Amino acid sequence: MKELSQPAGSAFSDTPQQWHDIDWCRVQRNVRGMQIRIAKACREGKWRKVKALQRMLTRSKSARYLAVRRVTENQGKRTAGVDRVLWDTPDAKWKAAQGLKRRGYQPRPLRRVFIPKSNGKERPLGIPTMTDRAMQALYLLALAPIAETTGDPNSYGFRIERSTADAMSQLFTCLSQKASARWVLEADIEGCFDHINHHWLVANIPTDKAILRKWLKAGVVHKGQLQATDAGTPQGGIISPTLANMVLDGLESGLKQYLGRAKAKKLKIHVVRYADDFVITGDSPEVLADEVKPWVEQFLAVRGLRLSPEKTQIVHIDQGFNFLGWSFRKYKGKLLIKPSKKNAQAFYRKVKEAISNNKTTRQENLIRLLNPVLRGWALYHQPVVAKQAFSRMDFLLFQAIWRWAKRRHPRKNLEWIRKKYFRTSENKNWVFATTVLTEEGSKKDFVLYTLSETPIERHIKINGEYNPFDPSMEAMGEKLRMDRMLKKLKYRKQITSLYVSQKGRCVLCGQPITKETGWHDHHIVHRSQGGSDATANRVLLHPNCHQQLHNRGLTVSKPAPSGASLKA
């Protein structure tokens, strides 16, 4: 067996013959290098060069491989389009990558499905076929550098390394001071994805016009009937969020240019946007109503959009407003951001429904079902003033679980039920917990996550000028990605330890592990061969790299100070 040092690409053929022959390190490097060149040409205003580089990227093998990998690893990989085809084998992925070409490409209609919204209504989704998804992912690789370079500084939705917490932090900066803006235009675009003007999209989005026009006019199949698509970009397509973002880019910069930067600063005009939700701050309601709102309506009308009359309003900060699941309001001059009542109620309904639908399940299974949901909601609201909301929710959940426990044993007295399902732990009574056996045969307490024990931690906002395709900001991006991944893994100590020891990179391909790529926990010596669960016998790999490792019969060793080694 030959031992090779990183990068792992040296163990792969220069011309791959099958899916698992692909050197993903080289693929990522090739695509990123081209994306950086596109972003540089975009910053310099060399649009002919941008177009030439985009054409070169979309025709490269590396980009095709990466596009197929994305659509076969994301959450929708098991959801088929109208042709009911899935790429769930290495051979299918390889053939798909070879056939991903512009010439002769004709997209299939979208499959219409509906998912429930928090207000009880349904949101329509259009599901493309796997081929159409891969084509969208391919052209998105060439479009993303432009979207990130030309995007508004305070646009935070569907952008690399940006989140709702960044938008919240920016609003805190704009509203928290004594001299900050006191009035807010809370805007809501009516059916944003459904009404975007196709002519505007084709004329203004810097991508292949013919391909874009085909996607927009592909149509939708609902209940066996083909329906034409005359406007909008479907929710469900990989490229749709980026297209919608680019439609609204210019809202912030254009408004400040219209008012004049000096006047906008004097009037305390700030725009904070997350996808199609945005708020605009101002020093007086007259400025927002008479100058800002008419300009915004004109800006949207050109793109085929309009504000919702019912949901768009101008409010005083003392009255407060809701944005992204949080309530922003000043109490005696102090800005407090709390989980909104609507968000808390929707969350409680979700958890209560999960408890009601599992009346007969074992206690450990119910805890296993609820803990990720509880932890996810707690971590979302961790950066805001949420202790009171957490305590209130803990009380409501206790009542729901107590009813669940009593229903299971109608003939037992309450003290018997309490002793069976609840215990005292670290000076806390009524802890919903049970004892389970681990794989090693030892006993371990399995406890329901307590929301009120989540520590409140201030979120560190991303720099508004951050561009992931600017090499000068590479170090900033690396630190940001590591910090946020470590925060995400905070309650998974062993995974955190592995992530830190690998410096946040996959042992096989050497590329960053992010929440978008996901990861697999690989045992170097397989458990079936006597390998232990100790961290010394485990490494983190990308899901595709993990599959590649097993299919090619490769092994990896723990990362050393100089890097990990790969054995073929």
Residue 484 and residue 405 in one domain: no
Residue 268 resides in a domain: no
Residue 76 resides in a domain: yes
Q: Provide the residue range defining the domain that includes 535.
A: 471-552
Separation CA 36–CA 397 (nearest Å): 49
Q: What's the N-to-C CA distance of the chain in angstroms?
A: 6
Average pLDDT score over residue span 424-450: 82
- In 3D space, the residue among 25, 233, 241, 274 whose CA is nearest the CA of residue 144 turns out to be 241
Q: Is 69's pLDDT higher than 70? A: yes
Q: Is 562's pLDDT higher than 50? A: no
Residue 103 and residue 201 in one domain: yes
Q: Strands across the sheet with 443-447, in order?
A: 422-425, 428-437, 443-447
Q: Are 73 and 518 in contact (CB under 8 A)?
A: yes
Q: Which of residues 447, 482, 502 is at a domain's end?
A: 447
Given this model, what pLDDT does residue 445 score? 81
Q: Is 8's pLDDT higher than 80? A: no
Residue 1 resides in a domain: no
- In 3D space, the residue among 186, 188, 184, 212 whose CA is nearest the CA of residue 199 turns out to be 212
Q: Is 488's pLDDT higher than 80? A: no
- In 3D space, the residue among 416, 422, 469, 360 whose CA is nearest the CA of residue 37 turns out to be 469
Instruction: Kindly report, residue by residue over 11-49, the tens digit of the pLDDT.
Output: 455 688 899 889 888 999 999 999 999 999 999 999 999
* Confidence band, pLDDT 50/70/90 cuts, at residue 560: low
Residue 386 and residue 478 in one domain: no
Residue 223 and residue 119 in one domain: yes
Residue 53 resides in a domain: yes
* Confidence band, pLDDT 50/70/90 cuts, at residue 187: very high
- Distances in Å between the Cα of 190 and the Cα atoms of 202, 235, 243, 315, 398 are 21, 14, 17, 19, 39
% of the chain at pLDDT higher than 70: 94
Residue 96 and residue 222 in one domain: yes
117 vs 23: which has the higher pLDDT? 23
Cα angle for residues 334, 255, 268 (degrees, 5° grid): 25
Which residue type sits at 335? Answer: L
- In 3D space, the residue among 40, 43, 41, 34 whose CA is nearest the CA of residue 62 turns out to be 34
Average pLDDT score over residue span 75-89: 86
Residue 498 resides in a domain: yes
Instruction: Kindly report, residue by residue over 221-255, the tens digit of the pLDDT.
Output: 887 788 888 877 777 789 999 999 999 999 999 99
Instruction: Kindly report, residue by residue over 515-536, the tens digit of the pLDDT.
Output: 778 888 888 887 667 677 778 8
227 vs 341: which has the higher pLDDT? 341
Quick check: helix, strand or coil at residue 2?
coil
* Confidence band, pLDDT 50/70/90 cuts, at residue 563: very low
Q: Is 267's pLDDT higher than 70? A: yes
Peptide bond before residue 124 is cis, with ω within 30 degrees of 0? no
428 vs 107: which has the higher pLDDT? 107
3-state SS track over 231-257? CCCCECECCHHHHHHHHHCCHHHHHHH
Q: Is 567's pLDDT higher than 50? A: no
Residue 426 and residue 532 in one domain: no
Q: Which of residues 219, 247, 275 is at a domain's end?
A: 247
Given this model, what pLDDT does residue 439 score? 65
Residue 443 and residue 478 in one domain: no
Q: Which of residues 215, 247, 279 is at a domain's end?
A: 247
Residue 508 sits in a domain whose CATH number is: 3.40.1800
* Confidence band, pLDDT 50/70/90 cuts, at residue 429: confident
Residue 45 and residue 106 in one domain: yes
280 vs 218: which has the higher pLDDT? 280
Strand 555-556, strand 565-567: pairing: antiparallel
Q: Is 319's pLDDT higher than 90? A: yes
Give the CA dihedral 307, 311, 316, 320, nearest 10 degrees: -130
Strand 428-437, strand 443-447: pairing: antiparallel
Separation CA 557–CA 472 (nearest Å): 33
Residue 3 resides in a domain: no
Average pLDDT score over residue span 406-427: 90
| Distance from the Cα of residue 80 to its chain's centroid | 21
Residue 567 resides in a domain: no
Residue 405 and residue 500 in one domain: no
Number of independent structural domains in the chain:
3
Residue 441 and residue 497 in one domain: no
Separation CA 514–CA 482 (nearest Å): 9
Residue 44 and residue 132 in one domain: yes
Given this model, what pLDDT does residue 516 score? 76
Residue 60 and residue 180 in one domain: yes
Residue 352 resides in a domain: yes
Given this model, what pLDDT does residue 372 score? 93
- In 3D space, the residue among 132, 130, 18, 140 whose CA is nearest the CA of residue 74 turns out to be 130
